[in-house]
Structure 1
Amino acid sequence: MLLSKGFEVEMYTGTPSGEIVGLSDRIVADLNGFVREPDSRNVEYTTPPLCQYEKLLCELVRPRHELRKYLRGLGDYTLIPGSTLALGPTDRFFRSDLSNPYHSYIEQTYGTTVVTASIHINIGISDPETLMRACRLVRVEAPLYLALTASSPFLNGEATGSHSSRWQVFPKTPNHVPLFESHAHHIHWMEKQLAAGTMQNVRHLWSAVRPNGDRRPYNLNRLELRICDLISDPIGLLAVTALLEARLMQLIQNPDLDPLVMSHFPAESRNRDLVQLSDANEMAAAKHSLEAELRHWEDGRSLIAKEWIQQLYDEVWPIAKANGISCFLSPIKKILREGNEAQRWLRQYEAGQSVPSILRGAIQSVQTQEDQLAQDLCEPCAA
């Protein structure tokens, strides 16, 4: 049985030349389904939780298609792919809501390091202990999903040397987040952080993955993977989601698939060792994505990210096939073969193209693909 899935999609708005322009106040006022981020250059929409990938594809594409039409009505504006302020400026915050005290805190504490675009993938898991186990497994494998989705090699008009400049600069908060050993552990830890002020509210847990729900940390119903860069290709996003879902199905079938159970690290330091390993793997994946050298959470052995992903793919393929989603999983092989968005852009950069010209081409390519998908899929789905 398929799990429910939904996305939180953050995007930049701007011009076809790649200049990012803050328009979220107008978008939120005029279009249903969009919400503002603290900086007006970002806008976000959320898809409803659905089990079927075909319907999910429509819910991904339709809001972007409507937003593009609206932006054209405002002027020569469009959506900008990528997860960082590729052409800048990064020295100034453009507030979307001057009266919001939480936005004031964000601006004063973090500045433009939080002005990034990303995809948050939510997977429904209602049992709290299964959810905590899922968060533990996905936390130690989150670098693989970053490696697949890296799309931010540029910042301020230059190549940064990282495939995900977003995850290099994004302020993970609080500084240390353990693997939650139980729902009770999660509740106690959250209450302690809120009392200490290391978290401003229950949303202020910015880690690679977190449990989510309607009344956090008490009522939880989904896993939220937050590490992924913005994936411009909806088909690629569904493939990454299918990999995650099949892995979680495997975990539900086999509760012992748990880093706190299966890891060979010493029991007395296992939680801490796994957190340190995962943090180091995240930084390696942010730097080199699919070519990053990572350490496996089971025994600390070294392997290249794309090799680990291929192993994971082979392991969950039978589960995906049995549940009728193998066709949505299979584009993972294309990403492994051709590279993620950051790698494809960097190949153009190394061949002599400028950052603005790469962005212009990417903007046009993404728009063409989404227009075609909207024409082919969304109207039949709506009917």
Structure 2
Amino acid sequence: MLLKGFEVEMYTGTPEGDIVGLSDKITASLDGFVREPDSRNVEYTTQPRHGYEQLLCELLRPRLALRQYLQQLGNYTLIPGSTLSLGGSDRFHRSDPQNPYHDYIEQTYGTKVVTASIHINVGIADPEVLIRACRVIRMEAPLYLALSAASPFIDSETTGYHSTRWGIFPQTPTRVPLFASHGDHIRWVEEQLTAGTMQNVRHLWTSVRPNGDRRPYDLNRLELRICDLVTDPISLLAITALLETRLLQIIDNPQIDPLVDSTFSPTELITLCANNEIAAATSSLDAELIHWQDGRKILARDWIQELYTTGWAIAKQQGFSCFLSPLQKILREGNEAQQWLQLYGVGVSARSVLTQAINSIHEREMELEDKICSGVVS
């Protein structure tokens, strides 16, 4: 099994769903939390683990500590969703007014980047295998967005997207190649830094990127950045399990490679990738996508089911199939955005949708905490 960890961005606010910037207080008082450029969300990073039981604890413990601290500050809680769902998109709330990089972000992108998300990091030691894995997962990243979409609202209105976050997020630089090798990646990043299209090595905002302690030179993990905030930890682990089974296939078979096994040119693949991402941001599981291998049209949910079916034997052999199986519930009942839009479609207000979600995720976390404490996870 591969090492896995998460970067979790979340909003804080009131039980009524209004987002309130508290990151300055949180980061000053709690270990393990860091500020984002806007004060309304805060991030924590889990320790990398091989096992899914340990990952579940790593996800829950900081969140439970944060909830307790928010109650000390006042009647505050954690807000699901990946956009400013009920309001506040008209202005930036700076968390660190003295930070020049934050100056650049606010002036260049505005509140388009004030989003919450999950970044899934999976360890791959060999940099050439890692770059190839990034090529494949970038072509399939829309599937993970389809499973995780959770941002159909901005300012209490629907937007036409299931993932408004990814629909409006400023991917930077605007056109990123499928890197043919680690050396190709290094040269390209150095060129972007010289040209100013990237402000620093972190300023590579694509669906997937290679990550490491000294980018772009020392790389040791794949970072999947496309997912909206998945508030249910069991659903997040299922999405992660699907990613791990796919990566184990890629590591084992060098022929799984868009630069080798595709009817499209590298330039065409980049365009195809961008179009599929927009389709998934718009319609998530019901999006019609173009398969990178042969150009056939396929619904996102059907492509996911194909990967699930081929990955099941790997997950079972590795002993984590029970964490993969909840994926079927997402395919059956819809992702968070689809469930919210279903309520909205029968007359439930965006605020009521959010308050229901706030309550249900809090109850879910308490339920999981009880099961972890008693040694049972399901």
Interval containing the TM-score (normalised by the shorter chain): over 0.9
Mean alpha-carbon deviation: is it higher for 366-375 or for 163-172? 366-375
Counterpart pick for 2:293 among 287, 298, 315:
298
Following TM superposition, by how much is the alpha carbon of 1:192 offset from its aligned partner in structure 2, in angstroms?
A: 0.3
In the alignment, the residues of structure 1 paired with residue 98 and residue 122 of structure 2 have an alpha-carbon distance, to the nearest angstrom, of: 33
Listed one character per residue, the Cα deviations across residues 141-162 of structure 1 (whole Å, up to 9, x for unaligned) are 0000000000000101011111
Listed one character per residue, the Cα deviations across residues 298-352 of structure 1 (whole Å, up to 9, x for unaligned) are 0111011001100111111111111111111001111000000000000000011
Counterpart pick for 2:314 among 312, 319, 322:
319
1:71-220 maps to which residues of 2 (within 5 A)?
71-220=70-219
In the alignment, the residues of structure 1 paired with residue 40 and residue 117 of structure 2 have an alpha-carbon distance, to the nearest angstrom, of: 13
Asked if the contact 1:58/1:378 (under 8 Å) is kept, the reply is no
In the alignment, the residues of structure 1 paired with residue 345 and residue 294 of structure 2 have an alpha-carbon distance, to the nearest angstrom, of: 37
Q: Does 1:366 align with 2:337?
A: no
- Paired letter, 1:130: V
- Paired letter, 1:337: R
In the alignment, the residues of structure 2 paired with residue 42 and residue 379 of structure 1 have an alpha-carbon distance, to the nearest angstrom, of: 32
2:260 match: secondary structure: helix
In the alignment, the residues of structure 2 paired with residue 378 and residue 293 of structure 1 have an alpha-carbon distance, to the nearest angstrom, of: 43
Asked if the contact 1:86/1:155 (under 8 Å) is kept, the reply is yes
Question: In the alignment, which residue of structure 2 is the partner of 1:281?
Answer: 276
Listed one character per residue, the Cα deviations across residues 121-175 of structure 1 (whole Å, up to 9, x for unaligned) are 0000010000001000000000000000000001010111110000011100000
Two-structure CA RMSD over aligned residues (Å): 0.9
1:198 match: secondary structure: coil
1:205-284 maps to which residues of 2 (within 5 A)?
205-265=204-264, 270-284=265-279
Question: In the alignment, which residue of structure 2 is the partner of 1:12?
Answer: 11
Counterpart pick for 1:331 among 308, 322, 326:
326
- Paired letter, 2:32: G
Question: In the alignment, which residue of structure 1 is the partner of 2:372?
Answer: 377
Listed one character per residue, the Cα deviations across residues 45-70 of structure 1 (whole Å, up to 9, x for unaligned) are 00011001000000001111110010
Question: TM-score when scaled to structure 1?
Answer: 0.97
Listed one character per residue, the Cα deviations across residues 246-304 of structure 1 (whole Å, up to 9, x for unaligned) are 00001111111111111012xxxx11111110100000000000000000000111011
In the alignment, the residues of structure 1 paired with residue 373 and residue 263 of structure 2 have an alpha-carbon distance, to the nearest angstrom, of: 48
Mean alpha-carbon deviation: is it higher for 59-68 or for 370-379? 370-379
Listed one character per residue, the Cα deviations across residues 342-381 of structure 1 (whole Å, up to 9, x for unaligned) are 0000000001100000100000000011122123215869
In the alignment, the residues of structure 2 paired with residue 61 and residue 379 of structure 1 have an alpha-carbon distance, to the nearest angstrom, of: 15
Question: In the alignment, which residue of structure 2 is the partner of 1:308?
Answer: 303
Counterpart pick for 1:355 among 350, 353, 358:
350
In the alignment, the residues of structure 2 paired with residue 211 and residue 153 of structure 1 have an alpha-carbon distance, to the nearest angstrom, of: 29
Following TM superposition, by how much is the alpha carbon of 1:88 offset from its aligned partner in structure 2, in angstroms?
A: 1.4
- Paired letter, 1:280: N
- Paired letter, 1:91: D
Mean alpha-carbon deviation: is it higher for 218-227 or for 321-330? 321-330
Mean alpha-carbon deviation: is it higher for 192-201 or for 98-107? 98-107
- Paired letter, 2:292: W
* Structure 2 unpaired stretches of 5+: none
1:260 match: secondary structure: coil
Listed one character per residue, the Cα deviations across residues 17-56 of structure 1 (whole Å, up to 9, x for unaligned) are 0000000000000000000000000100000110010000
1:258 match: secondary structure: coil
Going from structure 1 to structure 2, the CA distance change for 1:378 and 1:259 (only over 3 Å counts) comes to farther
- Paired letter, 1:297: W
In the alignment, the residues of structure 2 paired with residue 316 and residue 37 of structure 1 have an alpha-carbon distance, to the nearest angstrom, of: 35
How many correspondences in the alignment? 376
- Paired letter, 2:236: L
1:9 match: secondary structure: strand
In the alignment, the residues of structure 1 paired with residue 69 and residue 145 of structure 2 have an alpha-carbon distance, to the nearest angstrom, of: 31
In the alignment, the residues of structure 1 paired with residue 270 and residue 32 of structure 2 have an alpha-carbon distance, to the nearest angstrom, of: 36
In the alignment, the residues of structure 2 paired with residue 64 and residue 324 of structure 1 have an alpha-carbon distance, to the nearest angstrom, of: 27
Runs of 4+ in structure 1 off by over 6 angstroms are none
